[in-house]
């Protein structure tokens, strides 16, 4: 991570950066502690997951499966 930061071609606002990069960039720049960066990354991950669920729930063509059910594989194979 430090090597990516030092390269200088990635910034905290780059769209291709995965969740957590922006928060670690803040830490490496000395703006927040590592503990704070981790907390912010966890929060950003939760926000992303929430946005994805909202988007997926709006998709009418999706089939939802309970991956923990005993017959998950059989149901999935029928699709």
For residues 15 and 48, the model is more confident at 48
Task: For the domain covering 2-78, report its CATH number.
Answer: 1.10.287.890
**Confidence (pLDDT) at 31:** 93
pTM as predicted: 0.66
Within 8 A by CB and 6+ apart from 11, the residues are: 25
pLDDT tens digits, one per residue of 19-52: 888 898 889 889 999 999 999 999 999 999 999 9
pLDDT tens digits, one per residue of 64-79: 778 888 888 787 777 6
The domains of the chain are located at: 2-78
For residues 47 and 63, the model is more confident at 47
Determine what percent of the chain is predicted with pLDDT higher than 70. 86
């Amino acid at each position: 991570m430090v090597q990516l930061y030092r390269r200088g071609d990635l910034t905290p606002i780059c769209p291709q950066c995965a969740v957590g990069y922006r928060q670690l960039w803040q830490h490496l720049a000395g703006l927040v502690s590592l503990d704070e960066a981790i907390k912010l990354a966890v929060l950003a991950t939760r926000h992303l997951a929430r946005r994805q669920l909202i988007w997926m729930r709006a998709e009418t063509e999706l089939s939802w499966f309970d991956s923990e059910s005993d017959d998950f594989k059989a149901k999935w194979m029928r699709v």
